[in-house]
Amino acid sequence: MWQALPAQPCFLCGTASRNGVWCAACDADLPYLTAACCPVCALPTHDGATCGHCLQQAPHFDRTVAVFAYAFPLNKLVQALKHNEKLVLAKELANKLAQRIAVRPDCLVAMPLHPMRLRARGFNQSFELARHIGRQMDIPALLNACQRKRDTPPQTALSRKDRGRNMRHAFMCTQDFSGKHVAIVDDVMTSGASLNELAQTLRKAGAREISAWAIARTLPHSAS
């Protein structure tokens, strides 16, 4: 028998919500990605065609699934999860991503944190997302199969070219992925440099197909 959820303060506006961690009104205001986009990198394109950049220089992953644009107020949810340890948000955001998955992989790999950063933060937000998605979809989420071997500087202040250089040889795989379809789970996809480098590492470990799954996609200013 259906039962209403107990009312709780909406994480975004504070009003009573029976809709989950945030209320229905705030959910309607979230920047869901609804426009046509490149199936490979999820940037906006006319009629959903593959973008010129992916045609000229195809990334090492095959497709991208993203739920939101990285914009207000969704960015507040991601930042609260990552920096304020609001882990309750991971399940809600993971549910939104799971609802968009059409191609089922063999396993999930979270974007790894370097051990130093993991110790400082205490958790990997991408693995929290992968864990919830894996549980919901009955797909194994592999915790230590891929590792970040270099503590790379933050990507935010770097150009697209420098982001690619910054991530070069940053990852290693400790598991054989031969013949597997692997989905990489991350919170935000900006240039895609980190995802592309991890995808290349997974290819070298034998992965035959790679999907990139992100809660949010950073869009060009003209498209946001």
CA dihedral of residues 76, 128, 185, 193 (deg, nearest 10): 60
What's the whole-model pTM score?
A: 0.88
pLDDT along the chain (224 residues), means of 10: 68 90 95 97 96 96 98 96 90 97 97 87 94 97 90 56 62 96 97 95 98 96 53
21 and 98 part of one domain: no
Helix runs in the chain, H state only = 24-29, 52-56, 74-83, 88-98, 115-121, 125-137, 160-166, 193-204
Could you read off the pLDDT of 45-80 as tens digits, one per residue?
999 999 999 999 999 999 999 999 999 999 999 999
Residue 100 tokens, joined = 């968009």
In 3-state terms, what secondary structure has residue 139? coil
Residue 179 tokens, joined = 């013949």
In the beta sheet, which residues pair with residue 209?
Answer: 181
Residue 135 tokens, joined = 């549980």
Range(s) of the domain holding residue 69: 37-217
Domain with residue 168: its CATH number is 3.40.50.2020
204 and 119 part of one domain: yes
d(C-alpha 212, C-alpha 7), whole Å: 35
Number of domains in the chain: 2
